[in-house]
Each structure stands twice: as C-alpha cells, then as structure tokens.
Chains A and B, each alone.
Chain A
Amino acid sequence: MTDRAALRCDQCGQVDDHPKVHIGEVTKHHDCLSYQEREMVMGSNESTPGAAAQIVEACEGGKRGAELLAFIEQVHVDEVK
C-alpha cells in the first residue's frame, strides 16, 4: 500500500498504515474496538448500509493491511451493483 499515512492505534499502540476506525478523536484497528464501540459502529447510520459489520468481522477474522483494504473496496463494489 503506497502513499498511506502510518497511524497509531489507540488500543494496541501499533503504528501502521492498515485501514482503521476513527471514532471522533480515537483511532483503532477494526479488531481493537471495545465491545461497546463495536456495537455502536455496526449499528450506525451508514453511508453504505451493512458495510461496517462486514469490515469489522473481516478484520476480526484475520484480514489486515492490503488484504483488508482490498476487501473493503470489494464490499463497496458489491453494494453498488
């Protein structure tokens, strides 16, 4: 993944350019969310309804970095078909 900013996860402390969740000022990996944060994100009013749950669950299932980004892009392609 090129031209991506390395951002710190406020939960695990790791600094990398993996896709992350920004909840206001807080930034975390999708699989580093607390239970409450996870439920809140997955229950959101979404720009692409249902995408957040798929992304969080994919990250929890082991997808990270470029693989997770490709999955995120594919989810949105599938949603607009």
Chain B
Amino acid sequence: MAKATTYANDVLDHAFNGGASGTAAIATYTLPFKVKFLSTLSTAGTAGTEWSTSGGYTQTAGGSVGGVSLSGNFSSAASAASKANTTAVTVTNAPAGTWADNEICDSTAGTNKRMNFKGTPSLAKTVNAGDTCTIAIGSLTGSET
C-alpha cells in the first residue's frame, strides 16, 4: 500500500526531526483504524469515492463510524520492514457497484485522517447487491525501504 501525502508528511516530520532534546512524537492518529471500500482509485493526494451507506456497508464519518474496523487485526509485529493484515476484512450484503480500491483511515472525530491506500491497478470488480467482499489475509501490506 502507499501512503496518503498527509500521512507521509507526518511520518517525515517525525523521522527527520531537528529537535534539541526530549522525545519525538508523531502526529496523533486515533484507533481503531478502519478500511474504506472505494468505487474509484485513491491517489496520494485525494481519496477515491467511498461506497455509499447501503445494505451492509456504512460510509465513514467522524470518529469510529463506518468502514470496517481493523481492531484486533495486524497481530504480528513488523518483520524485515514489512507488515500485513493477519485477519481478512469483509463486507457482507455489499451495495451494488464497483469495488476498485481500499484505503485505511483513522477514527479521528470530525474528519478521519487518511493513512494508506492500495491504488493502481484498479480491482475493478463488479459487485451485486448482497455480495460478500473480502480482503484476504496478507493483502493489506505495508513496507519501508
């Protein structure tokens, strides 16, 4: 997955820090992190179009509302500068439309903060109302080089 620009900037400000003393805190991101299901692709600068609230999917809003919570996921520590989901992520009774992309955001009240997104190529899956959409174990992968 790739970082949203806003998140990348927070990571860079944390890692490349000219402070003289104390500890280097990264900007605050609120748990639980959530996965958004998108009908268009995200880019670093702009989130894709999220599925509307319908059937078994609730569009994200401020706080922990909407998306699919990642609480309890990512239970294995990062290794070799990589980390992936250890539990699948599923929407049942999905709304009809296109499943193109996914994005992880936090649960900040008001406006959730963007974090990572899958991006190109588009999954471009046709989804009928009532279908089950699952992100497999190991598919939400991040790495640092």
Residues of A near B35 (CB, < 8 A) are 45
Q: Which of A19, A47, A48 contacts B131 (CB 8 A)?
A: A19
**A47 CA to B134 CA, complexed, in Å:** 11
A22 and B125 within 8 A (CB): yes
Contact with A along B104-129 (1 / 0, CB 8 A): 00000000000000000001011111
Please classify how large the interface on chain B is, using the bins under 10, 10 to 19, 20 to 34, 35 or more.
Answer: 35 or more
Min C-beta distance of B31 to chain A, whole Å:
13
A73 and B70 within 8 A (CB): no
The reply to whether the CB of B55 lies closer than 8 angstroms to some CB of chain A is yes
**A40 CA to B137 CA, complexed, in Å:** 8
The reply to whether the CB of B71 lies closer than 8 angstroms to some CB of chain A is yes
A73 and B130 within 8 A (CB): yes
Most A-side CB within 10 Å, residue of B55, B128, B133: B128
Contact with A along B13-30 (1 / 0, CB 8 A): 000000000000000000
In the complex, the chain A residue whose C-beta lies closest to that of B72 is A45
Most B-side CB within 10 Å, residue of A25, A27, A48: A48
A40 and B128 within 8 A (CB): no
**A20 CA to B99 CA, complexed, in Å:** 14
Q: Which of A17, A40, A55 contacts B92 (CB 8 A)?
A: A55
In the complex, the chain A residue whose C-beta lies closest to that of B37 is A47
A47 and B58 within 8 A (CB): yes
A22 and B133 within 8 A (CB): yes
Since A20-B131, A25-B125, A55-B132 are in contact, a sample of 15 more A-B pairs with Cβ atoms closer than 8 Å, ordered by chain A residue number, is A4-B129, A24-B139, A41-B88, A45-B35, A45-B68, A45-B88, A47-B90, A48-B56, A48-B93, A52-B132, A68-B130, A75-B92, A75-B93, A76-B92, A76-B93
7 residue pairs A–B, Cβ–Cβ below 8 Å = A22-B133, A23-B88, A24-B135, A25-B125, A45-B72, A46-B90, A52-B132
Residue numbers of A with Cβ under 8 A of B are: 3-5, 7, 17, 19-25, 27, 30, 40-41, 43-48, 51-52, 55, 68-69, 72-73, 75-76
